[in-house]
Structure 1
Amino acid sequence: MLLKFFLTCNKIGAFTLGGGYAMIPIMEEEFVNKNHWLGKQEFMDIMVVAQTTPGIFSIDMASHIGYKMKGVWGGIVGALGIAVPSIIAILIIAMFFRNYKDNPWVEKFFEGVRPAVVALIASPCFKMAKTANISWKNAWIVVVSCLLIWLLKVNPVWVIIIAGTAGFFYGKIMRSKKVKK
């Protein structure tokens, strides 16, 4: 089981361009749909926890999933499985990229890859919105949060704290209204 998990993480780490967020659809496909190691909601919960954990998102995801599956050893195996391909790729790129960075073929390759990476990052956002029950009623929170972070350069930590606090008090108010009826 741990070997299969390691190899799956290794495959994800080796063949995903664009970092941790670009890995989300592939991780979901492998861990939820293909191997059934997690349910959709468990996957989303782990993703939220991994986003709030300091460190590299993809390693946090793999270690949290591994820990859920097989405890401490699962967490270690997941982290190593995701990290090893990146470490090898970085070493190879560091050795050779300087010689090829101005090559027009390499530049064109990256021009083509960039939009695909944006799509890989955007795709999980739509899936998360569906899982998080984002509707037309509460979509304004997403829009306002994005604008605060993007236009006004508000630190995302403050946006999360404010949204969480507002959600907490909104929930208390709605609960108390239900009790009074």
Structure 2
Amino acid sequence: MNIYWESFKTFFKIGIFTLGGGYAMIPLIEEEVVNKKKWVSKDEMLDLIAVAQSCPGVFAINIATFIGYKLRKTRGAIATTIGTALPSFLIILAIAMFFSQFKDNPYVAAIFRGIRPAVVALIAVPTFRLGQRAQLNRYTIWIPIAYALTIWGLGVSPIYIIIIAAIGGYIYGKLSNQKLSS
């Protein structure tokens, strides 16, 4: 089968069945792209997630674009990006067309109240998996917790956290290399 069509279909399917945004897509992307299709390894997936998070724009689009580019350069990136974005576009278009008819419907409101906890779980699971792959342990677990509390409790912009983390990682890397070469 044509890899462009296959990658488009894969990301279209992921886009249709994902509620809660890009982070909720991570388990589905991982299952399809890493486990089933073997397009990227688990380590590559972790790296792609890190890069997609640090780039401006929508996370789901970023990661789809990076995976598509890895598969077949620009055309692969276009196929996966359109595959990811098209379901959301069509769903939003349908909602916009019919929103006034069901916005006050108690059944629709109840459905969305029921979906919210599931979305939290869809975001929590990849967060824990990322923590495991990042080799967090009892000595390093304080770092993401401190950053999360700083963002949430003090209202510090995540951009500053990313800059601080990048500088800290750079310094740590330099110090580690100096110790190894001594």
Smaller-chain TM-score bracket = over 0.9
RMSD: 1.2
Q: Matched residues in 1 for 2:24 and 2:87: separation?
A: 15
What one-letter code is carried by the residue in structure 1 that aligns with 2:105? N
Q: Secondary structure at the match of 1:36?
A: coil
Out of 167, 170, 175, the residue aligned to residue 168 of structure 1 is 170
Match of 2:44 among 42, 45, 63: 42
| SS at structure 1 position matched to 2:127 | helix
1:74 CA displacement: 0.2
| Residue 32 of structure 1: aligned partner | 34
Residue aligning to 2:133 = 131
Map of 1:116 onto structure 2: 118
The residue number in structure 2 matching 1:76 is 78
Q: Are residue 57 (structure 1) and residue 56 (structure 2) matched?
A: no
- Of 81, 88, 91, which residue of structure 2 is paired with 1:89? 91
- Give the Å deviation of 1:4: 0.8
Matched AA of 1:146 = A
The alpha-carbon distance between structure 1 residues 23 and 175, as it changes in their structure 2 partners (threshold 3 A), is: same
Q: Distance in 1 between matches of 2:49 and 2:172?
A: 24
- Using the alignment, how far apart are the partners of 2:181 and 2:7 within structure 1? 47
Specify every segment of 5 or more residues in structure 1 that has no aligned partner in the other structure, as ranges: none
Residue 164 (structure 1) shift? 2.0
CA contact (8 A) 2:54 2:162 kept: no
Q: Which amino acid aligns with 2:7?
A: F
- Normalized against structure 1, the TM-score is what? 0.95
Q: Find the counterpart in structure 1 of residue 158 from structure 2.
A: 156
Cα deviation 1:58-85 (Å, max 9, x = unaligned): 1111111000010100000010001111
Deviation at 1:178, TM superposition (A): 4.7
Deviation at 1:179, TM superposition (A): 4.5
State, as a whole percentage, how many aligned pairs show the same letter. Answer: 48
Deviation at 1:177, TM superposition (A): 4.0
Distance in 2, Cα, partners of 1:166 & 1:130:
20
Consecutive unaligned residues in structure 2, runs of 5 or more:
none
Aligned-partner SS, 1:151: helix
Letter in 1 for 2:49: M
